[in-house]
Chains A and B, each alone.
Chain A
Amino acid sequence: MSVTLVKERYSSKVGEVVLGATPEQGGTRTSTVTVGGDSALPYLHFEGQMPNRPVIAMEVTDVVPTWNELITKQIGDVINNPAAWAKKCVDEFGADLIYLKFDGADPDGENRSPEDCARIVKEVLAAVGVPLIVEGCDDSEKNNDVMTAIAEAAAGENLLIGIAEQDNYKSIAAAAMVHKHTLIARSPLDINICKQLNILINEMGLPLNKIIIDPTVAGLGFGIEYVYSIMERARLGALANDKMLSMPIICTVGYEANRCKEAYASAEEFPGWGDLQDRSVLWEAVTASGVLQVGASILVMRNPTAVSLVQKHIADLMNK
């Protein structure tokens, strides 16, 4: 007896967003990255199109990060130099994009000036040809100054800049609009605020294809199933023609996975957990795989070995 597959039909699809700009488009990138465009649930290739594979952005920070040695050793000496570090991520680890985070701008830390941050962005732009994602620090007031300076210094590059949040989106949204960048809209694991923030940003005049959703994620074991359900609702909304939830999604997987104790506690401390080297890589890679299954378009990752695993996984998933 032959079996006919029941196929869902959707009335709409996830929007496509282009990151970066080549010289013809007003920037200096050697290539751009396009994300989104999915017309079905993730990897159900028999139900719809997934024209763009998910991409991996690798984290680079302006100050030497306090990460686990298992990661910093793989990065090596270049960890003192954001431009060289970024180049290594692209040349050796195969990063599709660079995610540059200015932890050093925090007033409670090194308090790096907005001008100095802009200088580092220019250096990284000069060192690599891939598009850049740039985030400031966790102090929202300082962040507005930093991101305004960076947006202006890199005008036309179509950076993906962040973070816009419900309580603080106007300044950065204006900077994105004026200097032709794309914006990350972050909501605190809340589908209603996610949608509302997109509406508010769009009302300011930033087109929907210049917004990327950051729903806030969690590491494996720390609420990833809740992340999954929020992202699933957003995706089903997009496929049912909810334009205000139809943007591609970015997930800060490396940051979240490596905050989990399982990703850094030694085997001596927890003998039942097994070898740390494998566990650390798998914690980040499995967190990434989880959000891929529910439609993440951009993964922000940290551990080069985990990146390599997930690259292979994405290639498998995209193989029809």
Chain B
Amino acid sequence: MIIFGERINGMYTDIGDALRAKDPKPLQYWATKQEEGGAHYLDLNSGPAIPKEERAAAYEWMVNVVQEVSELPLVLDSTNYDAIEAGLKLCKRPAIINSVDAEPDKMERVFTMAMQHNAGVVGLCMNKKGIPLDHDLRVAFAMEIVATADGFGLPMEDLYLDPLILPVNVAQEHALQVLETLRLVKTLSNPAPRTVIGLTNVSQKSPANITSLLNRTFLAMAVSAGLDAAIMNANDEDLVDVAATTEILLNNKIYADSYLKVFRSR
């Protein structure tokens, strides 16, 4: 189970303020804290805090300040590919581009960039018309992304397909479709592509006392359907414990009494 720490995102007030003020401390604080929590990758997302024309410079700055304190590889999260490309050039370890959908022109740009920089790619199971409800359509988009990635020579272990989970309080019917998509995506190629979800989405805007429970429960269900990675709260201890335990129960890692601690050691 691969954890992408979600916390360095301009949507959070402290990170948004830090991005505007060019104050590295909050980013570095969360980089270290998420690594301690159990993150394998750090997702970097400027969000709307930075005007479009300044985004490339902002991603360069984010990559640099985070790499000053953490050895973890990075996930560059933006719809602005110029910004991602600027950041990719500075990454010390192979990064992941987050994300591209099944639109041909975007895939062309992203996969070219990925091959140039030895980066992975998150592929969203949607197109410009939006997120389909039905799993068949999601899988069709996944197939287009798999075929394109393969055409560019991207190894399937570097492709992360995201079936797109929506908040359960407004779009309850999606969770089941996401699980079915995860199962089917794993049959698209051999070796199979990897899978990822933006886990926290499932509990978006639900009351605080149940968000962690929703995240934990859906994570366990999704992993057993074929989920490899999650963009998630790496500092929710109970949630990270679930991630560690799924590896044991699926017989992916050998059990030892201290497996929870081992999962967090880097």
Contacts and interface: CB of A to CB of B under 8 A. Distances in A.
Verify that A and B bind, or say they do not.
yes
Interface string B254-266: 1111100110010
Interface in B211-266: 253-258, 261-262, 265
A242 B258 contact: no
Contacts of A195: 254-256
Tell me which of A193, A233, A244 has the highest count of chain B C-beta atoms within 10 A of its own C-beta.
A244
B257 A242 contact: no
B254 A237 contact: yes
A192 B255 contact: yes
A191 B262 contact: no
Contacts of B257: 192, 196
17 contacts: A191-B254, A192-B254, A193-B256, A195-B254, A195-B255, A196-B256, A196-B257, A199-B256, A199-B258, A199-B262, A200-B258, A233-B254, A237-B254, A242-B253, A242-B254, A243-B265, A244-B262
Nearest to B257: A196
Interface residues of B, number: 9
Nearest to B255: A192
A29 to B, nearest CB: 33
Interface of B: 253-258, 261-262, 265
A245 interface: yes
Interface in A26-48: none
Interface string A215-248: 0000000000000000001000100001111000
Identify the interface centre among A191, A199, A200, A203: most chain B CB within 10 Å of its CB: A199
Given A196-B257, A242-B254, A244-B262, 17 more contacts: A191-B254, A192-B255, A193-B256, A195-B254, A195-B255, A196-B256, A196-B258, A199-B256, A199-B258, A199-B261, A200-B258, A203-B258, A233-B254, A237-B253, A237-B254, A244-B256, A245-B254
Contacts of B254: 191-192, 195, 233, 237, 242, 245
B85 to A, nearest CB: 28
A242 B256 CA distance: 11
A233 B262 CA distance: 18
Contacts of B258: 196, 199-200, 203
A191 to B, nearest CB: 6
A195 B254 CA distance: 8
A58 B253 CA distance: 35
A83 B73 CA distance: 53
B243 to A, nearest CB: 16
Contacts of A245: 254
Shortest beta-carbon contacts, A-B, top 10 = A195-B256, A196-B256, A199-B258, A192-B255, A196-B257, A237-B254, A192-B256, A195-B254, A191-B254, A199-B256
A303 to B, nearest CB: 34
Contacts of A244: 256, 262
B250 to A, nearest CB: 13
Contacts of B262: 199, 244
Nearest to A199: B258
Nearest to A193: B256
A196 B261 CA distance: 11
A242 B253 CA distance: 8
A143 B255 CA distance: 29
Contacts of B261: 199
A199 B253 CA distance: 14
A157 to B, nearest CB: 30
B72 to A, nearest CB: 16
B244 to A, nearest CB: 13
Interface string A183-224: 000000001110110011001000000000000000000000
Contacts of B255: 192, 195
Nearest to B155: A9
